[in-house]
Homo-oligomer: A and B are copies of this chain.
Amino acid sequence: MNQPATPHAELRRAYLFADMPDDQLARLAHGMHMSELKQGQVLFRQGELAERFFMVREGLVKLYRLSPEGDEKIIEIIKPGQTFGEAVMFMGNQGRYPVNAEAVSDAHLFGFEQKVFLGVLRESHEACFGLLGSMSRRLHMLVNQIESLTLQNATYRLVAYLLDQIPGGVKHSPDLELTTPKGVIASRLAIQPETLSRILGKLRRANLIEVEGNHIMVRDVAALRKLVHMPPTET
């Protein structure tokens, strides 16, 4: 587990760890444990004492809230290489998770001790700055999500989500595919499954995307981009 050449290369993928000094990272990694979740398995529930935070190695994990009536809203979908639960320590509610976490697919995780992390933060500015960066990113994402939920309709939200998910930095991104259960996308976008199905149908008929089970393939990035920049005039 501790190769001398690339001690913790896998951990470095996470922004949180990217710039952390080697010795501090080693300290964190020393106390870490690995765990595997089966699809649908709950990792923790909202309100539980947060003694650990996590990094996803493989699979997808959803962070979500439930209404009293049982409706679910996914706040964030965590992908491999991302961390979650690391911001909890500083919450007013002295260390309780503000959301539920559950595996969307079979998943592998690293788990870290909050207490150890706290010690690392006290000793390393790089670690602090890493956490600040990670929290800033999350903050920004949430603000964007609020804007999207309140200022834009369901079609727009879906299109924006698709464009956000595909790597898409470059002109002709090689990978225009997205693999996520539809129910998960619906919950993330606060859309009913029936409505999502209709919107996907509409986009498919317009030859903008292709759908096959869990896979959504983006066919015409340019047209989707235009759809999102031009507001709500639709067929």
Contacts and interface: CB of A to CB of B under 8 A. Distances in A.
Interface in A135-166: 135-140, 142-143, 145-147, 149-152
A169 interface: no
Interface stretch (A24-32, A54-62, A121-129): A121-129
Given A136-B90, A137-B91, A137-B92, A73 B147 contact: yes
A49 interface: no
Nearest to A132: B90
Interface string A56-75: 00000000010111010101
Contacts of A65: 143, 146-147, 151
Range, interface on chain A: 35 or more
A131 interface: yes
A146 B92 contact: no
A178 interface: no
Given A92-B136, A132-B135, A136-B135, A69 B142 contact: no
Nearest to A73: B150
Nearest to A130: B90
A135 B125 contact: no
A141 to B, nearest CB: 9
A184 interface: no
A183 interface: no
Contacts of A199: none
Given A87-B135, A90-B133, 20 more contacts: A65-B146, A67-B147, A68-B229, A68-B231, A73-B150, A73-B151, A89-B136, A90-B135, A90-B136, A91-B140, A92-B137, A99-B143, A121-B129, A128-B132, A131-B132, A138-B139, A146-B149, A149-B150, A149-B190, A150-B190
28 contacts: A65-B143, A65-B146, A65-B151, A67-B152, A68-B229, A69-B231, A73-B147, A73-B150, A73-B151, A75-B143, A75-B146, A87-B132, A90-B133, A90-B136, A91-B136, A92-B136, A92-B140, A98-B140, A99-B143, A128-B132, A131-B132, A132-B135, A135-B139, A139-B139, A139-B142, A142-B143, A142-B146, A146-B146
